[in-house]
Structure 1
Amino acid sequence: MRDLLKSAAALMLLALPANAQDAITLGMVLEPPNLDPTGGAAAATDEVVYANVFEGLTRFGPNGTIEPALAERWDVEQDGRVYVFHLHDNVTFHDGAGFDAGDVVFTLDRARAADSTNAQKVLFQGIETVEAVDPLTVRVTLTAPDGNFPFKMAWGDAVMLDPASVADIATRPVGTGPFRFDQWVQGDRIVLRAFDGYWGDKPALGSATFRIISDPSAAFAAMMSGDVDAFPNFPAPETLPQLQADPRFKVIIGTTEGETILAMNNARPPLDNIKVRQAIAHAINRQDIIDGAMFGYGTPIGSHFAPHHPDHVDLTGLSGFDPETSKALLAEAGTGPITLRLALPPPPYARRGGEIVQAQLAAVGITTQITNMEWAQWLETVFKGGDFDLTIISHTEPLDIDIYARPDYYFHYAKPDFVALMDRLQAAVTPEQRSDLYRQSQEMIAADFVNAFLFQLAKTGVADARIEGLWENAPTQANDLTKVRWVR
């Protein structure tokens, strides 16, 4: 009997995760430059804090739908020009301060202020006034009707902030979410702990540790050894078949909003010549990049629009692989020998894809000089400074085709006709109107060969088989832990 009890106890221990039932360790490729989702463009920030530490008036659900968050409901008035948000009662920030309509006014006014550093400031430009009707009611009046306003309020850039702690938000974020910030050991890990005073459904997890593991081989080793319990965006897709065959793990394959592009600086010669950009696009074999850089995971795209979206138009044929056409276009452009700088950020899709792109462009007579950059350097030099010729990056924000209308955006397009399209889209409230404008916008940037559109980034995740609740798809860049739990 004693031996039987020992065996039963051993089986029970095996059934429990090695790091305790209420804790989880997740792997991440990129370390966030800061923990302020309202003050920068890094997707890695939202991967830690979205829906965990910070919440907005609305939020993205796991299937991409817009759900209530700090606003339990909202009314739409004047055909979409006025939105009245009704807030949940008894909500507190992690520092104990109460959340009310005044915090909404502060947050939205800060985001749209002249000196705002919000990377998605355009989300707030249509706001005319924000008024606290009473402590639990906020009226937002827009300059024009906008049927997409609840969608805009779901972005990580629109989360609600505590005025008293906002000065330290980059390193000690304070939100209203189910987890509070605990520790950041730079270069190694970020730790969150469940917030006892959370207003909503309490999470099953007591703590979450985000481990920074940028090397694909190290990521695989960490999964195999149990040092991490899950890697929602696993950087070593070549090892997925091995992990899938191991009963300790489950492989989670989904889709993302990540349009992966070979971005071109349209303001810099010779890339200001459409024939050169077109030649580059025709020199690219998308499937070779998907196979070589992503081991077959990814969907070819021909414009900046997710293939899973109902308004997607397949434009891959417009820029199909045709090296002879590329050579002819370069001859017509008359630029002579071309040497371009190719700046590559750390993600494996960029580093591995960059080497393939370099070889494909060399085959049509274009020389590229690769510079591997760390994430902070890429953000400062390429994204903010515009000091580049070519780069490879996944734009993981949802429905972000409007970035092509921004005059100061890093690839410098902002064609007046396209800006006018986005202005019409902003005002459109019917699904039919919006669908037609999305189609026109996809076709315009594809025909202008603004960038070379490569593939839609797949979400390849790996987790301990006993974990439930991780997102399969990525409607936004997030590791939402609100429904995650261990199953015995």
Structure 2
Amino acid sequence: MMRWKHRAPVMVLVLALALLLAAGCGRQASDAPGAPQDGSTGQEQAGGETGGGAAGEPQRGGTLVVALPANPMTYNPNARPDDAGIMIFQNLFNKLVTLDDQYQVIPDLADDWHISEDGLTYTFYLHPEARWHDGQPVTSADVKWTYEAILANQGLAAGSLAVIDAIETPDDHTVVLRLKEPNAPLLYNLAWAGVYIMPKHLYEGSEDWLSSEAAQQPVGSGPFRFDSARLDEHVTLVANPDYFRGAPYLDRLVYTIVPDPQTAAQALMNGEVDVSITRPSLTQLVTLRTAPGVVVDIAPMPNRYYVPMNHAREVFQDLRVRQAVAHAINRGEVLDRALQGIGAAAEGFYTPAIAWAYNPDAVAPAYDPARAEALLDEAGYPRGADGTRMRLTMTIFSGGEWADVAAVLVENLRAVGIEVELVQLDEGAWIQRTVVDRDFDLTLLAGMQGPDPDQLRLRFGSMGPLNMMGYANPEFDDLLARAAAVTDQDQRRDLYFRAQEILAADLPFVPVAEFVAVHLYRDAVHGLAHHPEQVGSVPQWGFHRAWLAD
């Protein structure tokens, strides 16, 4: 049974870490009529040709220039959220395990690993040839020191690592993590952000891991070494010829700082940059798709727009009203008008980009304004003399696609007699009003919901820091807790499928639209992480196997 729970907001910092609004890290919707939902990648080059992917034998040498929207905040990769920094860290450092571009866990420093049957012991076996850029070997002591430093300094992944009870290092190349309780999402969390292995011999003894010399002149173990940087201009890496998984094809990797999307798009079209991570507008994407020499690839990503309803408001404690709001929203119109056909209309209650955990049968009510009107009448909200049934507020982030999506939602709801006042706020003000003060009726939110479906607890669990709705269903909470405690994926899938059925019945929010990732690059660039031949071996945004054709 669903209950409404009004509670004081907790872990507001987690909110800032988890939002990753709309398209953090350069991943966003593209202007395709719909992204592939099966994990495949759509590729399109000007003139209708297929771009990217394999193209003959890889060539060695050359400099790859990548447009990056901001400077890294620090070269300590585990201290704080840093969307720009992570693009660089993916090529400077390694984790125990990492994610490929389809959100699969793949080896990184660890060649292999084993999880005990009771889910309490994780054993990782490190590659014996892994070395730091200063020539020192990477050992299990570095892993132990890194995880303990993240916990001691409340680093980005401290919450994820809190389940670890002890870290053992029986030899230089074996790490054993003993958990306080089974935690199936741990493996994904060890492959995610803020868990890069750091050099103990350079950090140990520093009073502040942010002011340490190693955080200014980073020494990693990855395929590229730090060379130089100039604020607001560039960060330059050079190939690591001794990389334990083979030397990169490229000689140099230059991240040029280009905050302005139009400037970045023009630079890509001019051939001044080879890859652009700087997020373009939807209009610019239309132009880029027809630009000679530019390739636009699209793929699913676990990020989606949805409309939470504040269940502390009496009006939304009536399921019929929540159903009416869902029936009133024309998700296809949002996609076509606000998002220019980019992405896909959302149907279910989890992201289809994490295909194994997505229940395609637990779907939101179909667009049916007549049914919405009947439900509102039944719930006791008839149209007044001016045609209005109720007046609500909707908090949204200022400008851009947020305003475009919200404008369509307002029109949809007005058509069934619900007048909505939009309240546009910057991120800090939105957090304060919507999450802390709970002063809203409706809101519009997006953000990453992977790589593990345990993210459902963050957003919809009764104690989730992003559950500003006040939604609480004990059975839902129990299902998610059980899913986090078993390591068998089939068992987890069954539990998550049932959890999505509960969301579909309770309807605490309305899913609106799915994002897709967009990759922008010149047609001379090959071997990118999202190309099919690299999936399963190269980390997201890794350039280890990238090369330039003549």
For residues 12-38 of structure 1, give each alpha carbon's deviation from its aligned partner in whole angstroms, at most 9, with x where no partner exists.
xxxxxxxx9632333355776666664
Counterpart AA for 2:238: A
**Do the aligned partners of 2:294 and 2:523 also contact (CA within 8 Å) in 1?**
yes
Give the aligned partner of residue 446 of structure 2: 393
For residues 404-459 of structure 1, give each alpha carbon's deviation from its aligned partner in whole angstroms, at most 9, with x where no partner exists.
33614123345332221122112223332122112112222233223321222112
Deviation at 1:276, TM superposition (A): 4.9
Report the Cα distance in structure 2 between the residues aligned to 1:387 and 1:190, rounded to whole angstroms. Answer: 41
Give the aligned partner of residue 508 of structure 2: 450
Counterpart AA for 2:393: L
Give the aligned partner of residue 105 of structure 2: 66
**Do the aligned partners of 1:265 and 1:411 also contact (CA within 8 Å) in 2?**
no
For residues 14-67 of structure 1, give each alpha carbon's deviation from its aligned partner in whole angstroms, at most 9, with x where no partner exists.
xxxxxx963233335577666666454565553x14522332111112343321
**Do the aligned partners of 1:361 and 1:368 also contact (CA within 8 Å) in 2?**
no
SS at match of 2:66: strand
Q: 1:405 aligns with which of 461, 479, 501?
A: 461
Q: 1:338 aligns with which of 368, 377, 391?
A: 391
**Do the aligned partners of 2:299 and 2:518 also contact (CA within 8 Å) in 1?**
yes
Structure 1 431/478 Cα, relative in aligned 2: closer, same or farther at 3 Å?
Answer: closer
Report the Cα distance in structure 1 between the residues aligned to 2:136 and 2:435, rounded to whole angstroms. Answer: 35
RMSD (Å), alpha carbons: 3.8
Report the Cα distance in structure 2 between the residues aligned to 1:100 and 1:45, rounded to whole angstroms. Answer: 25
Percent of aligned pairs with the same amino acid: 23
Counterpart AA for 1:251: V
Structure 1 318/62 Cα, relative in aligned 2: closer, same or farther at 3 Å?
Answer: closer
For residues 372-393 of structure 1, give each alpha carbon's deviation from its aligned partner in whole angstroms, at most 9, with x where no partner exists.
536xx47964797576641332
SS at match of 1:401: helix
- TM-score, normalised via structure 2 length: 0.71
Counterpart AA for 1:193: L
How many pairs does the alignment contain?
Answer: 461
- TM-score, normalised via structure 1 length: 0.79
Structure 1 344/138 Cα, relative in aligned 2: closer, same or farther at 3 Å?
Answer: same
1:83-482 → structure 2 map (5 Å cutoff)? 83-93=122-132, 98-112=137-151, 116-118=154-156, 121-146=158-183, 149-162=186-199, 164=203, 166-168=209-211, 175-181=220-226, 188=232, 191-194=235-238, 196=240, 198-205=243-250, 206-215=252-261, 217-232=262-277, 235-240=280-285, 242-264=287-309, 266=311, 275-301=320-346, 302-307=348-353, 309-314=355-360, 317-329=363-375, 332=379, 337-344=390-397, 348-364=400-416, 365-373=418-426, 377=428, 381=432, 385=436, 389=440, 390-395=443-448, 397-399=450-452, 400-403=455-458, 404-405=460-461, 407-412=463-468, 413=471, 415-472=473-530, 478-482=540-544
**Do the aligned partners of 1:386 and 1:410 also contact (CA within 8 Å) in 2?**
no
Structure 1 354/111 Cα, relative in aligned 2: closer, same or farther at 3 Å?
Answer: farther
Report the Cα distance in structure 1 between the residues aligned to 2:95 and 2:362, rounded to whole angstroms. Answer: 36
Report the Cα distance in structure 1 between the residues aligned to 2:283 and 2:79, rounded to whole angstroms. Answer: 35
SS at match of 1:443: helix
SS at match of 2:221: coil
Give the aligned partner of residue 30 of structure 2: none
Instruction: Judge which range, 24-33 or 365-374, deviates more.
Output: 24-33
Counterpart AA for 1:454: V
Report the Cα distance in structure 2 between the residues aligned to 1:329 and 1:276, rounded to whole angstroms. Answer: 7
Give the aligned partner of residue 24 of structure 1: 64
SS at match of 1:392: coil
Structure 1 207/256 Cα, relative in aligned 2: closer, same or farther at 3 Å?
Answer: same
Report the Cα distance in structure 2 between the residues aligned to 1:292 and 1:171, rounded to whole angstroms. Answer: 46
Structure 1 369/380 Cα, relative in aligned 2: closer, same or farther at 3 Å?
Answer: closer
For residues 223-249 of structure 1, give each alpha carbon's deviation from its aligned partner in whole angstroms, at most 9, with x where no partner exists.
323343223575344455554444412
**Do the aligned partners of 2:228 and 2:237 also contact (CA within 8 Å) in 1?**
no
Which residues of structure 1 form unaligned runs of 5+? 1-19
Deviation at 1:272, TM superposition (A): 6.3
**Do the aligned partners of 1:38 and 1:117 also contact (CA within 8 Å) in 2?**
yes
Report the Cα distance in structure 1 between the residues aligned to 2:409 and 2:313, rounded to whole angstroms. Answer: 20
Structure 1 193/388 Cα, relative in aligned 2: closer, same or farther at 3 Å?
Answer: farther
Give the aligned partner of residue 4 of structure 2: none
Which residues of structure 2 form unaligned runs of 5+? 1-59, 383-388
**Do the aligned partners of 1:257 and 1:397 also contact (CA within 8 Å) in 2?**
yes
Structure 1 190/228 Cα, relative in aligned 2: closer, same or farther at 3 Å?
Answer: same
Counterpart AA for 1:409: P
Instruction: Judge which range, 279-288 or 25-34, deviates more.
Output: 25-34
Report the Cα distance in structure 1 between the residues aligned to 2:94 and 2:174, rounded to whole angstroms. Answer: 17
Report the Cα distance in structure 2 between the residues aligned to 1:57 and 1:158, rounded to whole angstroms. Answer: 8
